[in-house]
Structure 1
Amino acid sequence: MKPYENYLIISDLDGTIIPHGGHISAANKAAIAEFVAGGGHFGIATGRTPEAAAGYLAGVEITAPSIFFNGSMLYDWQRHEILAARALHGPVLQSGETDDAIWPRFAAHCLEKFPEACIEVYTADSCNIISRPEHDDPRLPHEYYVYRHCPLDEVADLAKTPWLKFFVCDEPSHLKQLEAEAEAMGTSAVSNHFYSEANYHEFVAQGVSKGAMLAEIRKLPAYRDVKIIALGDYFNDQALLEQADIGIASGNAHEAVQAAADITGCRVEEDLIVWLLQNFDAIAKK
């Protein structure tokens, strides 16, 4: 029997195995290769799109279904196939119809209320920036995103272009106000929304999270009897760590995420996958 058979590692990227502004280290890549060669399954769970993640994953063998858009998509990396997707929806009206127009109404309100924010609508194949180009998130030119600028009207029909994620980048004080606006307009009640960084606030469908999509992985025949080890660092990873058999927070993780994890490992700069394999026997007994 190989040493890592019947184990799946599913890891967040930024702040967990990728230092902010950096890349996956050669040491972490070698550790992932060792884990897979030893019979283990390796997947990722990220807020990124598959295309945006791919730029960081050259030389990394992704062998398990992976989670994107912070839980809105389950994707087969090897087959380039969407296994499941969860789009934003509005409240159900008395007529029985769904008021999906609540999201473009909210987006229009955000454009007016937060004129210096970068506001992005994520569909399955693109990041659509509906705010003014001069307010773009500074990360975008240095990342691997497929993105375009377009007016809100071009993506306002959710029946034709389902929204997997609505994203706002702005000052933290403005994002606190954004939460109040979401509560007042009703989008808070029909979504799961959270901070993925201090200046990033994201909305996905109600009930969607990395942890909820992990439950979908467990339903797949190949993973029903596999012990799952999850790695993460921020609020959008908390449900993932809680739903895994063993949840590991990086040493730089937010204190609330460390509290929710079973174990706290080393900092992202110190190669968390390497640390995991060095301590695997003790961790597997948790």
Structure 2
Amino acid sequence: MKRYQDFFLISDIDGTLANNEHRVSEKNKEAIADFVAQGGHFAVATGRTQRNVVPYMTGLTINAPCILYNGGALYSWQEKRFLKTKHLESRELAGFLRHCIALFPQMCIEVFTHEQLYVITDPANVDEHMIREKQEFTYAALDDILDKTWIKIILCDSHENLLASRAILSLFHLEDKTNNFFSAVTYLEIVANHVSKGNMLGELLKIPGFHGKKIIAAGDFQNDIEMLQIADCGVAPENAQDDVKKIANVIAVNNDEDLIHDIVYRIIPTLL
């Protein structure tokens, strides 16, 4: 019997697995490899896509399906294919997005599909984070992508404008048709109703081989809360939002101090 064969560790990337230099430390990689070698399962749960997650996956030992698009998709890293996706109804959102474009001229709106990331706002507003990370994207008019299959939307603007945008969802009767959350102070994400990292984790655990595992989940922001709540042990790094720390079972070191190493060698042994 291997030491960690009954455990499944799943981690957010930004602010959790990755440090503030946007890298996964060698100590974290080594800890994950050791955890998997001793029978554990490891995966990531992130708002990123199967493409822009790639820089963080080099050297990681992944042996379980990963949650992408903040719960919009379950993806097999080994097989390079989607196992499950949950879609938005693009035409139901069109009026809301047109309203946002008119009301907030500085906003950047990003629409994510399986194949492509589209920016449907003025090129002058493009999100600097996308440029810095060299994300591939295409400018498009909203009407030209309505027949695409949408997985999620990101509104990028000041927090004040995003709060106002969130309130506008109800004017278009979308509050019961979508889910929304902040993944950063300047990012409001919109996904299909009931979509979240936590919901998709529940779907993952129905897969044979994962049902009944003891779940350790780590995350730092609002979009991680549900995932931490349904885990057997929810871990928040010291740098996490206060709301995340309040619901976590354990507060660990911050993401600059090899958080996953701390979980594997200090926290999980207490759960054996």
1:163-242 counterparts in 2 under 5 A? Answer: 163-242=150-229
Q: Does 1:123 align with 2:110?
A: no
Q: Provide the aligned C-alpha RMSD in A.
A: 1.3
- Which residue of structure 2 lines up, in the alignment, with residue 109 of structure 1? 99
- Which residue of structure 1 lines up, in the alignment, with residue 64 of structure 2? 64
- Which residue of structure 2 lines up, in the alignment, with residue 84 of structure 1? 84
The AA in structure 2 aligned to 1:76 is: S
Between the aligned partners of 1:148 and 1:7, the Cα distance in structure 2 is 40
* TM-score, normalised by the number of residues in structure 1: 0.92
Between the aligned partners of 1:6 and 1:228, the Cα distance in structure 2 is 9
Between the aligned partners of 1:46 and 1:148, the Cα distance in structure 2 is 22
- Which residue of structure 1 lines up, in the alignment, with residue 127 of structure 2? 137
Secondary structure, counterpart of 2:166 in structure 1? helix
Q: For structure 2, which runs of at least 5 residues remain unmatched after alignment?
A: none
Structure 1 residue 22 displacement after superposition: 1.8
In the TM superposition, what whole-angstrom CA distance separates every residue of 1:218-251 from its partner, at most 9, and x where no partner exists?
1011101211110000000000001111111111
Structure 1 residue 149 displacement after superposition: 1.1
Identity percentage over the alignment? 37
Between the aligned partners of 2:39 and 2:24, the Cα distance in structure 1 is 21
* Contact kept? 2:32, 2:264, Cα under 8 Å: no
Structure 1 residue 19 displacement after superposition: 2.5
The AA in structure 1 aligned to 2:86 is: R
* Contact kept? 1:51, 1:144, Cα under 8 Å: no
Alignment size in residue pairs? 272
Secondary structure, counterpart of 2:27 in structure 1? helix
Q: Does 1:25 align with 2:15?
A: no
Q: Aligned match of 1:147 in 133, 137, 152?
A: 137
* Contact kept? 1:49, 1:145, Cα under 8 Å: no
Structure 1 residue 21 displacement after superposition: 4.3
**Residues 283 and 241 from structure 1, CA distance in 2 versus in 1: closer, same or farther, beyond 3 angstroms?**
farther
Between the aligned partners of 2:265 and 2:199, the Cα distance in structure 1 is 29
Between the aligned partners of 2:2 and 2:136, the Cα distance in structure 1 is 39
- Which residue of structure 1 lines up, in the alignment, with residue 235 of structure 2? 248
Q: Does 1:73 align with 2:73?
A: yes
Structure 1 residue 17 displacement after superposition: 1.2
Secondary structure, counterpart of 1:174 in structure 2? helix
- Which residue of structure 1 lines up, in the alignment, with residue 260 of structure 2? 273
- Which residue of structure 2 lines up, in the alignment, with residue 96 of structure 1? none
Runs of 4+ in 1 over 6 A off after TM superposition: none
Structure 1 residue 145 displacement after superposition: 2.8
The AA in structure 2 aligned to 1:212 is: N
Between the aligned partners of 1:283 and 1:116, the Cα distance in structure 2 is 49
The AA in structure 1 aligned to 2:158 is: E
Structure 1 residue 75 displacement after superposition: 0.6
* TM-score, normalised by the number of residues in structure 2: 0.96
Secondary structure, counterpart of 1:15 in structure 2? helix
The AA in structure 2 aligned to 1:127 is: L
The AA in structure 1 aligned to 2:47 is: G
In the TM superposition, what whole-angstrom CA distance separates every residue of 1:42-83 from its partner, at most 9, and x where no partner exists?
100000001111111111121101100000100111001111
Between the aligned partners of 2:250 and 2:42, the Cα distance in structure 1 is 19
Structure 1 residue 254 displacement after superposition: 0.6
Structure 1 residue 282 displacement after superposition: 4.5
Between the aligned partners of 1:24 and 1:281, the Cα distance in structure 2 is 20
* Contact kept? 1:241, 1:261, Cα under 8 Å: yes
Secondary structure, counterpart of 2:14 in structure 1? coil
* Contact kept? 1:55, 1:144, Cα under 8 Å: no
Which shifted more, 59-68 or 146-155?
146-155
